[in-house]
Amino acid sequence: MPDKLKTRIASALGCDVRTLQPVGGGCVADVRRGELADGRVVAVKWQGGTLALEGRMLTRLGKAGLPVPKIWHAEDDLLVMSWIEHGGTLDRDAEEHAADLIAHLHNQTSDTFGYEEDTVIGGLHQPNPQLPNWREFFRDHRLLYMANEAMRAERISSATFQRIETLAGRLETWIEDDIKPSLIHGDLWGGNVLSLPGRVTGFVDPAIYYADAEIELAFSTLFNTFGEKFFTRYEEYRPLRPGFFKARCELYNLYPLLVHVRLFGGDYVNTVEGTLSRFGC
């Protein structure tokens, strides 16, 4: 298959492929690093079913000012992009750079929440109807949608789903009415933030839509993507609303947790149930 893949890439780009080596990190599609005869170094994803969508999402983030791979070719089962150099973990300076970039991204606004098309997160469908009210969008198309998907996959019980329904009916306790839509990356865990010492070099694997920007910030705490340095710098541009760390951070993280429940089950179910208990549900 690698030889067939080389032939397909060469046909798509009009350039021979010298090398094509597998790399880690692909949970939805096979990922490889390639060197072309014209000197370009590329990242190749294949065998996924939504790679053209991924290319469109990356292009949108690039237009919003984020460093992202340049898209050379995009089909549903083949995505060829420029290779972004990276290595190691985010240092303090890179965290500040990330805050600069993410704050600028969150300043990109819309009249509605959602997006012009449905997207994906972790390979799962992510519905994006364009709605004017964030609380309604988060309730119906994030919390309840993914909870229902998890129940259909027999990852959670009907009793747990009912507890999520109870919480979803009380969101006005924690989420205000006057939230403004912000463009978000949507899947901001550490593996999707590429860096070298002192700077972020690129963002990959997006799940974009217009949202309350705080749902992005919350997700970044779930797997310790960013630390205090990031938040201190981010607040220089966009101060957090009262109650974020006290309640909304954990509330918003129910969505990515439910994504992980749908994909993996296991201890993520216990984490979701613990969160529901802390919110009195």
Average pLDDT over residues 96-103: 98
Q: Residue 239 — pLDDT band, cuts 50, 70, 90?
A: very high
| 120 and 225 assigned to the same domain | yes
Residue entry with tokens 């089909």 = 75
Q: Residue 2 — pLDDT band, cuts 50, 70, 90?
A: confident
| 227 and 261 assigned to the same domain | yes
| 8 and 53 assigned to the same domain | yes
| 73 and 151 assigned to the same domain | no
Q: What is the pLDDT of residue 143?
A: 98
- Domain containing 121: what range? 92-278
187 is catalytic: yes
| 77 and 107 assigned to the same domain | no
Q: Tokens in use for 179?
A: 């939230």
Provide the CATH number for the domain around residue 166. 3.90.1200.10
In a domain, 87, yes or no: no
The rounded distance, in Å, linking the Cα atoms of 172 and 181 is 17
Residue at a domain's end among 37, 64, 82: 82
Would the CA dihedral through 242, 247, 251, 257 be positive or negative?
positive
Q: What is the pLDDT of residues 29-60, one digit of tens each?
A: 789 999 999 999 999 999 878 999 999 999 99
CB 85 within 8 A of CB 196: yes
| 10 and 147 assigned to the same domain | no
Residue at a domain's end among 82, 102, 130: 82
Average pLDDT over residues 205-212: 98
Average pLDDT over residues 185-214: 96
How many domains are contained in the chain? 2
Catalytic member of 76, 91, 93, 187? 187
| 50 and 107 assigned to the same domain | no
The rounded distance, in Å, linking the Cα atoms of 200 and 205 is 15
Average pLDDT over residues 131-149: 98
| 267 and 221 assigned to the same domain | yes
Q: What is the pLDDT of residues 3-33, one digit of tens each?
A: 899 999 999 999 999 999 998 755 567 899 9
The rounded distance, in Å, linking the Cα atoms of 55 and 35 is 20
